[in-house]
């Protein structure tokens, strides 16, 4: 278990050391050298302001936005969420300056785009310099799979059968592209435009590919951008988060209401248009970058490190064999399918608390009170709610006309090892199936037990 969590963390201040499948055309070290040395902003992977604050061991100030400030005041408890930080309170860094606390550009973006929230300042006093090891959610597939296998008896046989059928259906539909991605990872290049279009089609069947696609493009934009805005942030030791935010909201309608990367799948022509609108000079090379980088990351995150990438095919219906050869992919697929089961809202804490407990144990053993998103150190940082050796204080904050934050009211609350409730709205296919089942099963005049699209929309907005 510990080895799996170690594998899922990245430390950009030390050489790459993960075990990866054999026969890949490029190693993790090859890519690390390219990203750090051959991109305009690659130096920020090692020497960014957030990493320097972690290893400095001084008190850290973090910004969190909440819609539940009254509930926190009343209960005197702070709960954490799941997502890319597994089980930590999602924050961004604050820099202490004479004028006040300056938000990291990620925090500035959130403050501007979420006006209905209350900003909170958290002061974390570490007991020692913090290891700059960030959790990379793209590498959590093996942990998702192990968690499912441990708790699958909480599901009915019908529910388990449905999950397996859904995974196999996704693999059957996307299997040809998954094999293309592996061939590219071992050095057999596909035309970039063809690769992107096949990727776009495959995301519908394997939503994890949408997350890979988005993270690859985020990395490309942040490391290659040369705009004055990006240079200004780089001078402050920060990667430019506004770039990928603009990409996400331009690429997917309604992303501002539900940030769901399972819907991120622009085709080649659209991809080029999107990048041209953000930074024209980066458009000509983007498709080739995605082809190379996504193929490599897919092989690393999908396959077990013991595998030879040339010997694996996803055009197979043997789920047992695929669990052994590609536990990372099967785990990611199960994780994303199970969230849409009708009973998952009740079972959510059973599955997700198990992973959070493991993450908290790992972070505590490694001396990490403030884990961060290690796909790339872009400023997504959290607070470990059960770290026993670092006191935390918190304030409701006010922002002045220059953008600086100031403590306004100390909030007397404590972190608790509870996960905030989470619910995934039904996907389009679930909505269609539910409507069809309702029409077929109910006689005229019988009230449908299936929520209508309007009531579901009301639930989302609430």
Using the predicted structure, report yes or no on whether residue 461 has a pLDDT greater than 50. no
pLDDT (average), residues 394-410: 97
3-state secondary structure of 245: helix
Non-local CB neighbours of 253 within 8 Å, separated by 6+ positions:
none
Q: Quick one: what percent of the chain has pLDDT higher than 70?
A: 91
Task: Determine how many CB atoms are found less than 10 A away from the CB of residue 227.
Answer: 15
| Distance separating alpha carbons of residues 384 and 117, to the nearest angstrom | 22
Please classify residue 160 by burial: count the beta carbons closer than 10 Å to its beta carbon, then call 0-12 exposed, 13-18 middle and 19+ buried: middle
Using the predicted structure, report yes or no on whether residue 454 has a pLDDT greater than 80. no
Task: Determine how many CB atoms are found less than 10 A away from the CB of residue 161.
Answer: 11
Task: Determine how many CB atoms are found less than 10 A away from the CB of residue 229.
Answer: 13
The per-residue pLDDT for range 382-392, each reduced to its tens digit, is: 999 999 999 99
| Distance separating alpha carbons of residues 218 and 357, to the nearest angstrom | 29
| Distance separating alpha carbons of residues 230 and 248, to the nearest angstrom | 18
Q: How is 21-55 classified by DSSP, letter by letter? A: -BT-SS-HHHHHHHHHHSSTTGGGGTS-HHHHHHH
pLDDT-derived band at 11 (thresholds 50, 70, 90) equals very high
Only one residue has tokens 């595998």, namely 307
Rounded to 5 degrees, what are φ and ψ at 410?
Answer: -70, 135
Strand 392-399 and strand 77-80: pairing?
A: unpaired
Q: CA 147, 208, 339, 321 torsion: positive or negative?
A: negative
Q: For 24, how many CA atoms within 13 A lie in the half-sphere containing its CB?
A: 28
On whether the CB atoms of residues 101 and 404 are closer than 8 A, the answer is yes
| Distance separating alpha carbons of residues 173 and 353, to the nearest angstrom | 32
The per-residue pLDDT for range 319-331, each reduced to its tens digit, is: 899 999 999 999 9
Strand 414-419 and strand 77-80: pairing?
A: parallel
Predicted pLDDT of residue 1: 85
Mean pLDDT of the chain: 91
Q: Give the Å distances, CA to CA, from 316 to 72, 261, 340, 342, 447.
A: 50, 26, 25, 28, 43
Bridge partners for 232 per DSSP: none
Predicted pLDDT of residue 256: 80
Only one residue has tokens 């539909």, namely 173
For the chain, the residue count is: 462
Using the predicted structure, report yes or no on whether residue 449 has a pLDDT greater than 80. no
pLDDT-derived band at 363 (thresholds 50, 70, 90) equals very high
Only one residue has tokens 């996907």, namely 427
Structural element, H or E, at residue 134: strand 134-135
pLDDT (average), residues 339-343: 88
Q: Give the Å distances, CA to CA, from 332 to 129, 158, 181, 185, 320.
A: 33, 21, 17, 19, 15
The separation between the first and the last C-alpha atoms of the chain, rounded to the nearest angstrom, is 38
Q: Quick one: what percent of the chain has pLDDT higher than 90?
A: 84
CA angle centred on 207, ends 205 and 213, rounded to 5°: 115
Predicted pLDDT of residue 340: 86
The per-residue pLDDT for range 274-321, each reduced to its tens digit, is: 999 999 999 999 999 999 999 999 999 999 999 999 999 998 778 899
Bridge partners for 394 per DSSP: 122
The per-residue pLDDT for range 186-243, each reduced to its tens digit, is: 999 999 999 999 999 999 999 999 999 999 999 999 999 999 999 999 999 999 999 9
Strand 134-135 and strand 9-10: pairing?
A: antiparallel
Predicted pLDDT of residue 432: 44
pLDDT-derived band at 446 (thresholds 50, 70, 90) equals very low
CA angle centred on 170, ends 164 and 175, rounded to 5°: 120
| Distance separating alpha carbons of residues 248 and 260, to the nearest angstrom | 9
Predicted pLDDT of residue 364: 98
pLDDT-derived band at 434 (thresholds 50, 70, 90) equals very low
On whether the CB atoms of residues 334 and 167 are closer than 8 A, the answer is yes
Q: CA 183, 186, 189, 194 torsion: positive or negative?
A: positive
């Amino acid at each position: 278990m510990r080895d799996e969590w170690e594998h899922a963390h990245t430390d950009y201040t030390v050489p790459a050391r993960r075990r990866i499948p054999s026969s890949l055309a490029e190693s993790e070290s090859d890519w690390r050298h390219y990203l750090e040395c051959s991109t305009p902003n690659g130096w920020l992977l090692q020497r960014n302001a957030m990493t320097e604050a972690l290893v400095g061991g001084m008190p850290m100030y973090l910004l969190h936005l909440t819609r539940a400030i009254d509930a926190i005041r009343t209960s005197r408890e702070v709960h954490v969420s799941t997502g890319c930080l597994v089980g930590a309170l999602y924050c961004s860094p604050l820099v202490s300056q004479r004028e006040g606390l300056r938000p990291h550009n990620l925090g500035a973006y959130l403050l501007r785009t979420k006006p209905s929230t209350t900003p909170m300042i958290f002061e974390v006093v570490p007991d020692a310099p913090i290891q700059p090891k960030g959790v990379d959610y793209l590498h959590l597939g093996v942990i998702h799979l192990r968690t499912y296998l441990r708790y699958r008896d909480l599901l009915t046989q019908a529910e388990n059968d449905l999950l397996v059928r859904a995974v196999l259906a996704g693999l059957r539909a996307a299997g040809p592209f998954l094999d293309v991605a592996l061939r590219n990872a071992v050095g057999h290049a596909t035309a970039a435009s063809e690769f992107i279009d096949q990727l776009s089609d495959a995301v519908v069947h394997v939503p994890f590919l949408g997350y890979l696609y988005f993270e690859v493009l985020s990395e490309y934009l942040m490391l290659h951008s040369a705009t004055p805005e990006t240079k200004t942030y780089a001078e402050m030791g920060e990667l430019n988060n506004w770039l990928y935010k603009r990409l996400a909201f331009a690429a997917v309608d309604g992303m501002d209401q539900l940030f769901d990367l399972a819907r991120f799948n622009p085709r080649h022509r659209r991809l080029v248009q999107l990048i041209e609108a953000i930074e024209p000079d980066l458009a000509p090379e983007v498709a080739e970058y995605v082809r190379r980088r996504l193929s490599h990351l897919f092989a690393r995150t999908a396959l077990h490190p013991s595998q030879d990438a040339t010997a694996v095919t996803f055009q197979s219906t043997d789920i047992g064999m695929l669990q052994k050869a590609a536990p990372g992919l099967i785990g990611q697929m199960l994780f994303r399918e199970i969230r849409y089961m009708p009973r998952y809202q009740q079972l959510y804490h059973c599955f997700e608390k198990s992973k959070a407990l493991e993450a908290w144990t790992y972070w505590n053993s490694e001396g990490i009170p403030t884990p961060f998103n290690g796909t790339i150190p872009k400023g997504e940082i959290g607070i470990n709610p059960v770290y026993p050796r670092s006191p935390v204080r918190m304030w409701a904050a006010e922002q002045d006309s220059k953008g600086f934050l100031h403590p306004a009211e100390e909030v007397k609350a404590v972190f608790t090892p509870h996960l905030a409730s989470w619910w995934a709205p039904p996907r389009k296919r679930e909505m269609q199936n539910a409507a069809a089942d309702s029409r077929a099963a109910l006689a005229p005049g019988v009230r449908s037990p299936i929520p209508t699209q309007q009531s579901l929309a009301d639930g989302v907005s609430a």
